[in-house]
Structure 1
Amino acid sequence: MNGSRTTVYVLLAVTALAAITGRIAHVELLFEPSFYPTPGGSQWPATRPTPMPTLSSNDRSRWCAVRALVDEGTWVIGRRDSALASKGNQYGDTGIVFEDGWKTVDKVLKPGTGEFYSSKPPLLTVAVAAEYWLLKNLLGWRITTHTNHVVRTVLFTFNVVPFALFLWMLKVLLERYAASDWTKLFVFAAACHGTFINTFCITLNNHTLGAFTALAAIFPLLNRPANEKLLFGRLPVPEPPAAWGIALSGLFAGLTASLELPGLALAAGIFTILVIRSPIKTLALYLPLALAPLVLQQVINYIAIGQWEPVYAKVESEWYRYPGSHWFVAQGQIKHGIDWAWQHESRLAYAFHLLIGHHGLFSLTPIWLLAFAGMIVA
C-alpha cells in the first residue's frame, strides 16, 4: 500500500475520532432561546435544569432502563399510583423517568400494573448495563453521582471504538476494490466526516452501532481474493468466505437486524448469496448465529415485560396512548413537533421534507446524491 496514502488514511481517521472524542468529553444538553419560539411549543424551563450529558428522549429512555437494571434490579423505570396524585402531579407518577434530567417521552405504561418501561429494544440496553455494572463495581461510579463519568465512558466504548474498527474495515475494502487513489481517499474522507455517524456518536443510540455491524456483516464476504468471474463484466467476484467468515457474517448480520429493523433485509440478502454459494456452511453457521441476537432480544423482552411482542409494536395501543402520554391525542387536539408532522403536512410535503427538506436524507447528508449518481454511472 502506498505510504503517502496510508498517511492520509491515518490523518483522516485520527481527526474524525479525535473530534468525536472531544465532543463526547464535553457533551451536555443545552437550552437555547431560539428553540422555544412559539406559544404552544416547548416551554422555557422555570428553574435551572440539572446539567446532563444526555440529549433527548431517545437516549434518556435507554439510560433510565440501564439505571433501573443496575441500581434497582428491575426493568421498571417509573410507577403510576392515583393515590399519590396531587395538584402538581396529576396522575401520581413517580420513579426514575420522572426525575429532573431523566424525563423522556419514549416510555410505555403496562396496562393494569401502573408500571412504566422504556420503549426501546432491550438488547443494547443490557449491553450498556453490563458496562455500567463494571464501572460501578470496579470504580465506584454511580450514574446518579458520577453521571458524566459513566455516560461519557459508555459513549466512548460503544461509539468511538466501533467507529475506529469500522474505518479500518472500510480502508481494507477500499484497498482491495477501489481503482484509483482519488476514489479510495474520497470514500474514506466521506466516511470520516461526511455522514451523520459523527453526529450520532455523541449520544447513546442504535443507529451508529447498526452502521458498524452492517459493514462487519459484509466484510468477511468482500475481503476475499477475487476469482476470474466478473459481475456485470467489470466487478471482481470474491471467493466464498471461509467457515469463520460465514459465522462472523451471520453474527453481525443478526446484530444489525436487532439494532435496525431494515437490517433484516441485509441479513436476508447475505443469506441468499451465501446459501447459493456454500449451502451447508450457511445453514450450519450463518443461520444460527444470525438468529441468535434476534432470539436473545425476544427472550430479554419477555423477561422485561412478560410478553413476546416487542414494546415498539404496541404503538397504537394503550401501552403508548395512556392519559398524560406524549403519544395520547384527545379528539380534536392539534399537537406540534416532528412526531405530529402528519397533522400539519400533506403527504407530498412530508415526502419533500423526508428527502430534501428539514429532515431530508439528501439535504442532511448530500454525499448520498453523489453516491446515487455514481451507482447510475457505474
Structure 2
Amino acid sequence: MTNMRNDTDHHRMIRTILGTMILVSVAIAAGRIATVTSAEGDTAFLSANDRSRWCTIASLVEDGTYAIDRQIEIANPIHRNRRPWGTIDKVRHTGADGKLHYYSSKPPLFPTMVAGVYKLVHLSTGMTMTAQPIYVPRLILALVNLPMLAVFLVATTAVIRRVCESVEGQVMSVAATCFGTMMLPFTVSLNNHLPAAASMAAAMAIYLSAGDRIAGAQRGDSLRVSACSWCAMGMLAAFAAANELPALSMAVFWGVLAVWLDRRSVIPMAGGVAVVAVAFFATTWIAHESLRPPYAHRGVGAVVAHFEASTESPDQQLATDVQRVIVDRGLVPAEATFAIKPSDESKRYRVFADDRSFALVRDETGWQLSRWDDWYEYPGSYWQDGRRRGVDRGEPSRWIYFFHMTFGHYGLFSLTPIWCLLPFGFAMSLRTGPPEYRRMVAAILLATLVCFAFYLFRPMIDRNYGGVSTCLRWLLWFAPLWLAMVAVAIDACVRSTLGRRSVWALLAMSIFSMSTALSSPWQSPWLYRFWQFLGWIDA
C-alpha cells in the first residue's frame, strides 16, 4: 500500500512540475499580450505582417468586406501623416464591384476565423478595433493565441512523456518546449506560425495515442480509435498546411501514416481534410474571386491574344490593335479609357482600361497580351525592385544563405541551440520504439529535408529568411515535431554528468535567445543586430 501511495505521489509530482512550467509559459504570454503596444503607442500591432491580418479582421466585421482600403488610410489623430494600420503586406486587384481595391496578402481563412471572435467581442462590448486599436486587439489576442499556445504546450508535453523514460529527461524537454523555442514570442502577435505549430503538435499527439491504442487492442485490450479522432487529425494536419503551405508535405505524411496504422482511418481523415480545404478555398474565392491565395498572383494570367509586331516597345499601331482586341472580346466597354505604361518587369507593359489591367509582354515572336495577374505591382508597392531593404532584398548566394539558415545570424542552431541535439534525436529515434513511431520519425526527417531544400532553392527575392523576424520563422511549425526528437536525445544525455551539463548549457542559451524576442517577434534576431553593431552587416 505504501509503495502504491509513493508511486501515486511520484506521478503527481511530475505532473505538477510539468503543469507548472506550462502555466508559467502561458502566464508570461498573457502578461505580454496585456501590455503589447506598437512602438508609437497608438495600436497593439507590432509589424506590417500582423497589421495586414488585423486590417482584414476589422474590415470584415466593421465593413463587411475583405477590402482594406479604409483601414490602411486611418490616420493617427495627433500625427496625421502616420498610418497606424498601414502595411506593406497587401495586394491590389479588381474587386467584385469592378473597381481596384487593396487586400491583405495573407490567406483569408485564419483572419476570417479570428473575425468571428472579434464579432463576438464587438457584440458583447460594443467596442470596435478602429475606435479602440489597443485594448480590443489585446482582448482578441488573449482569446485566440493563449488557447493555441496551451494546445501546443500540452500536446507536445504529452508526446514528450511518451518518448522520454526518465523524469529528468521529461522535465528538461518540457522546459525546452515552454521556454526554449521562439513560439512564446510569436504568441504576442497575430500570425500564422502559432496555429500551424499548435495544429501539428495536436496531430502528432493523436497519432501516437492512436498507435498505443491499436497496439493495446492487438494485445486483447478493449481499446479502439474513434472515427472522430482520425477526423480531428485530418483537420489539424490540413489546418497546419492552410497556415503554412510547406506543411502540406507533413499533412500528406500524416495521411499515409494513419492509413498504414489503420486502413479504416481513410474516410474520417479525408473528411477532416475536406472540411478545412473547402473552408480555405471558399474564403479565398469570396475574398479574391480566385482559388489561389494572394501571394500566388505575381505574374501574368491567361493569354488573350498574340501580335506579330517587331517593335521593341509598344507603338501607336500596337496600342490600337490591343484596344480593338480587348473591346471586341467584350473584356471592357468601348468607352473605356486606355493607357499603356511600363511595368516593374523588363519587357512587360501594363495596359490600363479604366480599372481593368492587362499585361503586354515582349517575346521572341512579337507581343503577347495576357490578363494582368501581378497583384504586388501597384503605386508605392514595397515589393518593387529598388524599394526593398535589408534582408528583404534577398541573398544572392545560396551558400551564404545556407550558412545563415543554419549557424549564421538567422541560424536554426545558433539562435535555438537546443536544436543542435536534433541529429542525435533523429538517429536514436529511427532505431528505437515501435514501428509506427519509427515511421513517424522518418516522415518528420524527410519533411524537414524537403522543406529546408525548398526554402534554400527559392528565387533570390524569396531568400530573405522570412523577412524581419526574430528567427527563420518559416520553419517554426516544425517546433513540436523537432521537440519530440530532441526529447529522445535529452533523455539519453541526462544519464551522464557531462551530458546533463551540455543540455543545461544548450537550454540556457536557447532561453536567452528566446527572451531577447519577447518584446516583439517582428525584429531582427539578436545575433543579426549584434553583427550589425560589429559592422559585419550593412544596416
TM-score band by shorter chain is 0.7 to 0.9
Instruction: Return the letter of the residue paired with 2:289.
Output: G
Report the alpha carbon displacement of residue 222 of structure 1 after superposing the two structures with TM: 0.7
- SS of residue in 1 equivalent to 2:380: coil
> In 1, are the aligned partners of 2:159 and 2:204 still within 8 Å (CA)?
no
Q: Could you say which residue in structure 1 is the equivalent of 2:483?
A: none
Aligned pair count? Answer: 329
Q: 1:351 to 1:177 in 2, by over 3 A?
A: closer
> In 1, are the aligned partners of 2:90 and 2:102 still within 8 Å (CA)?
yes
Counterpart of 1:318 (choices 374, 397, 404) is 374
Q: Could you say which residue in structure 2 is the equivalent of 1:35?
A: none
Q: CA–CA distance in 2 between the matches of 1:350 and 1:247?
A: 39
Q: Could you say which residue in structure 2 is the equivalent of 1:125?
A: 111
Counterpart of 2:421 (choices 357, 366, 370) is 370
Q: 1:334 to 1:22 in 2, by over 3 A?
A: closer
Residues 204-223 of structure 1 aligned to structure 2 (within 5 Å) = 204-223=190-209
The higher radius of gyration belongs to: 2
**1:52 aligned onto 2:61:** no
**1:339 aligned onto 2:392:** yes
TM-score (norm 1): 0.82
TM-score (norm 2): 0.58
Q: CA–CA distance in 2 between the matches of 1:375 and 1:140?
A: 52
Q: CA–CA distance in 2 between the matches of 1:123 and 1:254?
A: 12
Q: 1:157 to 1:9 in 2, by over 3 A?
A: same
Q: CA–CA distance in 2 between the matches of 1:327 and 1:334?
A: 7
- SS of residue in 1 equivalent to 2:92: strand
Q: Could you say which residue in structure 1 is the equivalent of 2:52?
A: 61
- SS of residue in 1 equivalent to 2:190: coil
Identify which range, 296-305 or 166-175, moves more after superposition.
Answer: 166-175
Q: Could you say which residue in structure 1 is the equivalent of 2:275?
A: 292
Q: In structure 2, list runs of 5 or more residues that go unmatched.
A: 1-9, 75-82, 217-222, 300-372, 430-539
Q: In structure 1, list runs of 5 or more residues that go unmatched.
A: 31-48, 79-94, 230-238
> In 2, are the aligned partners of 1:24 and 1:202 still within 8 Å (CA)?
yes
Q: Could you say which residue in structure 2 is the equivalent of 1:81?
A: none
Report the alpha carbon displacement of residue 209 of structure 1 after superposing the two structures with TM: 0.8
Report the alpha carbon displacement of residue 199 of structure 1 after superposing the two structures with TM: 0.8
Q: CA–CA distance in 1 between the matches of 2:375 and 2:387?
A: 21
Q: 1:228 to 1:135 in 2, by over 3 A?
A: closer
Residues 5-16 of structure 1 aligned to structure 2 (within 5 Å) = 5-16=14-25
Q: Could you say which residue in structure 1 is the equivalent of 2:37?
A: 28
1:126-157 superposed Cα distances (whole Å, 9 cap, x missing partner)? 11111111111111111022222221112112
- SS of residue in 1 equivalent to 2:290: coil
Report the alpha carbon displacement of residue 267 of structure 1 after superposing the two structures with TM: 1.4
Q: Could you say which residue in structure 2 is the equivalent of 1:140?
A: 126
Report the alpha carbon displacement of residue 240 of structure 1 after superposing the two structures with TM: 7.4
Q: Could you say which residue in structure 2 is the equivalent of 1:18?
A: 27
Q: CA–CA distance in 2 between the matches of 1:372 and 1:10?
A: 28
1:242-290 superposed Cα distances (whole Å, 9 cap, x missing partner)? 32221111111111111111221121111112223322x3232101211
Q: Could you say which residue in structure 1 is the equivalent of 2:149?
A: 163
Report the alpha carbon displacement of residue 362 of structure 1 after superposing the two structures with TM: 1.9
- SS of residue in 1 equivalent to 2:91: strand
Report the alpha carbon displacement of residue 159 of structure 1 after superposing the two structures with TM: 1.4
1:28-73 superposed Cα distances (whole Å, 9 cap, x missing partner)? 122xxxxxxxxxxxxxxxxxx4622101111000001111111111
Q: 1:106 to 1:181 in 2, by over 3 A?
A: same
Q: Could you say which residue in structure 1 is the equivalent of 2:335?
A: none
